[in-house]
Amino acid sequence: MKSVRPSCGPIRHASAPYGLRLGRSPIHRYGVFACEDIPCGRQVIEYTGRRLSPDQAFLLKPPHDDYLIHHRNGPVINGSVGGSGAEFINHGCNPNLTWRRRRGRLFFYSIRRIPADQELTAYFSHPIKARVVPCACGARKCRKILRYIASQRADQHDLTLSRKVLNKKYRMLPRIKSKYARYRLRTALSGIHRFGVYALEDIPASRIVIEYTGKRMSWAKASRVPFEKSIYIANLKRGFVIDGRIGGSGAEYVNHSCEPNLKPKRIAGHLFFWSRRKIRSGEELTMDYKYSIKLRRILCRCGARTCRKTFRVEFRK
């Protein structure tokens, strides 16, 4: 696939009701600029292109993956093939656009009034592969870096599986039940272990993030559950546990980390995950499970600087 080389000029597309043009951008190469004032809350342009599966998108190497966009559990759109021009919208830490999905199509909407000749920007925080890219948007609170998340592969073991097994295994991602989550979250493939939970917005410190739900059972009954299926069992109170496999809210997919950003709290017979610190949009949510030293050893691949290399710690009453 050849890289896209646009010619600067007006953008003419059926989904663009306002005048837009393509031009050189101080942020990154080319950008999209408004030719007229755009009111707040209006559709600006549709993001079009060739639709790919996550496995097909994973095979694209830089720089051919620069125009990929993936929104929640929808397909991956490659804007370099059949794009409307929206693929040249640059990232901004203080964006003037947001996106909405309607019937499998992705549209950009204005989140404030955009004057003529202003560049259109969107907050891109969930592309396909994990990379570190400098940000030059020039916003007053610019983060100076784009931190992409790994969202399409679980671990090195999965890379050895056949394509047929991969397509069957990752066809449908688990969902987060929004009524149990206080903030917008999503599940995606994780670099730590299989699936993980990611934040879709900034989460302040010391806030309830999501409730851990599931079937309640006694310790005696939980002890008969095979070890492979017991990874979704959480301690609720003395003598009782919650099995997240049955009726789980999605919190059961939060992975372990030796430097976690969540902590558990039990309130009135319910188990909640609280934020230990501010969690950035696109960051994976993690917990320190602190397995007993008597339990089976499980390798930890969280990648933290102080990683213990195992889930197990000394058991203290």
pLDDT digits (tens, 9 = 90+) for 94-106: 899 988 887 778 8
> According to the model, what pLDDT value does residue 167 have?
42
| CB within 8 Å of 42: residues ≥ 6 apart | 17, 18, 109, 110
> According to the model, what pLDDT value does residue 124 have?
76
Q: Determine how β-strand 105-110 pairs with β-strand 76-78.
A: unpaired
**What distance in Å separates the CA atoms of residue 85 and residue 16, rounded to the nearest whole number?**
10
Is residue 183's pLDDT more than 80?
A: yes
Nearest CA to 302 out of 282, 315, 285 is that of 285
| Confidence tier at 315 by pLDDT (50, 70, 90) | very low
At the fourth CATH level, the homologous superfamily of domain 173-313 is: SET domain (2.170.270.10)
> According to the model, what pLDDT value does residue 301 have?
73
For all residues of the chain together, what is the average pLDDT? 77
> According to the model, what pLDDT value does residue 4 have?
55
At the fourth CATH level, the homologous superfamily of domain 9-147 is: SET domain (2.170.270.10)
CA dist list (Å): 45 to 21, 57, 99, 106: 12, 23, 10, 9
More confident residue, 279 or 217: 279
Residue spans of the domains in the chain: they are: 9-147, 173-313
Nearest CA to 97 out of 183, 52, 31, 163 is that of 31
Phi/psi of residue 70, nearest 5 degrees: -135, 120
Residues facing residue 156 across a β-bridge: none
> According to the model, what pLDDT value does residue 13 have?
81
pTM above 0.75, yes or no: no
The reply to whether domains 9-147 and 173-313 share a CATH topology is yes
| Least confident stretch, 45-54, 72-81, 145-154 | 145-154
